[in-house]
Amino acid sequence: MTNITKIFLVLNSGSSSEKFSLYEGEDEVCSLYFEGVEEDGKKKFICTITRADGSEELLDKKWDSLDLAFKEAKAIFEKEGFINEAHPLDGILVRTPAAGTYFSKHHIVDDETFEELEKAKLTYPLHVPGAIRGVKNAREAFPGIPVLTMSDSEGLTRESRKDTLYALPKEIIEEYDLGRFGAHGSSYGYVMGRIKELGLLEKKMVVCHLGSGCSVTGFIDGEPAYTSMGETPLEGLMSSTRTGSIDPTIGALLGEKLGAAEAIKVMNKESGLVAIAGSNDMREIIARAEEGDEDAVLAYNLFIDGVAGKIGEFAAKMGGIDAIVFTATIGERSIPVRSSIIAKLEFMGFKIDDEVKVDKALGFVNAAEEGSKPIYIIPTNEAAYMIKKAGEILDKEEENA
């Protein structure tokens, strides 16, 4: 890992929240989470600070605007002693989930970046406004510090990809810059890097990123070949609040009735597990399913079928699978989910041992039973991947200066 001593502030800007995570190298030393609450009929924002030892503290202060969070964050980090003249920030990283050729790469923010962000609001109305806010406020609160937009698809935009093209008229694809760019690229980049470091690389591997958002990617010789998400994260697997792939006519009809922005919101924020089971928490859904709750059973089965089906699809496209990897919150922690998925894939030579746990010293575990093809559980670290890439970009800038 290069630039291990650089100090980066990683922003995750939501529609009504802001998270600031401060890193020294790969180590998160402190984070601040600003979120909205209702108070006397008005929106206020509160902040929780989490320190490196895991301790949390709700700050005794409220703010009227999320924009104020940036100056407050700077003041808090300085008061805590994490940022000062001797230890200034090296860069601010803004996670930027946006489609298109421009955002398939990471960028040091300039005027072109703002122009491209404005264009991206059409397809990413839920995510891009937060990123714009984050970039603008970061530049104002931390003048002189490089601000970088970190692509959510960069780790997947390789020439090795075999599924980037949509079957649309060429002129439409070119006019609107459409393609299956994919998402969770930082997670896949990190996990595949770890697989290579650990000497676990197999010819044909499928990595399952199962968290609040879910996707699956097939790798051949360590390079991405197929991924489940498309122009936006809505394509592919059903997840906590997303529909996953549905008949596009439904999207068009919803757009006509509700308006495009509201239709996109419904399909991204009000669908998926929460629409079927009334909860987006897989632990709660599993508990209710075990008690016989029909909605929970239906949601769980649809989820499992979706993941297993996508793995099977990639097996057909790649001519087989030599290893499966689980990562992200559900993939790393949910024994029932992993077990249910692998149970449908035993015909491909996979059997899982539900008793094994990740070896914290090694940072992974092979959960396969004896005689099975490998089934790895590897915790992801998207921030570490972004920090590594940001360090490389800034080093190159310094070399060229």
Residue 279 Ramachandran class (φ > 0 left, ψ -120 to 50 alpha, else beta): beta
Q: How many CA atoms lie within 13 A of 266 on its CB side?
A: 14
What gap in Å lies between CA 401 and CA 387, rounded to an integer?
21
213 Cβ contact partners less than 8 Å away, ≥ 6 residues apart:
183, 184, 233, 239, 240, 242
Does 185-382 match 7-105+116-146 at the fold level?
yes
- Read off φ and ψ for residue 20, nearest 5 degrees: -115, 120
* SS3 state of residue 226: strand
- pLDDT in the model for residue 210: 98
User: How many helices and strands, by DSSP H and E, does the chain display?
Assistant: 13, 14
Please state which of the four CATH numbers 3.30.420.40, 1.20.1090.10, 3.40.50.460, 3.90.180.10 is assigned to the domain occupying 7-105+116-146: 3.30.420.40
Residues of the chain with pLDDT under 50: 1-3
Contact 60, 47 (CB under 8 A): no
Best CA proximity match to 310, nearest among 191, 178, 159, 209: 209
pLDDT in tens, 233-252: 999 999 999 999 999 999 99
Residue range 185-382, CATH number = 3.30.420.40
Token pair belonging to 158: 């390789």
Sequence-separated (6 or more) residues with CB below 8 Å from residue 384: 1, 26, 190
Residue 130 has a pLDDT of: 87
What pLDDT shows up at residue 3? 42
pLDDT given at position 124: 79
For residue 68, the one-letter residue type is L
For residue 283, give both structure tokens.
């632990």
Whole-angstrom distance, CA of residue 143 vs CA of residue 286: 48
Specify the pLDDT at position 117. Answer: 93
**Domain coordinates in residue numbering, the chain:** 7-105+116-146, 185-382
Q: Is 53 a catalytic residue?
A: no
Q: What is the pLDDT of residue 14?
A: 76
pLDDT of residue 1: 40
Q: How many CA atoms lie within 13 A of 85 on its CB side?
A: 0
Catalytic residue among 152, 247, 305, 322: 152
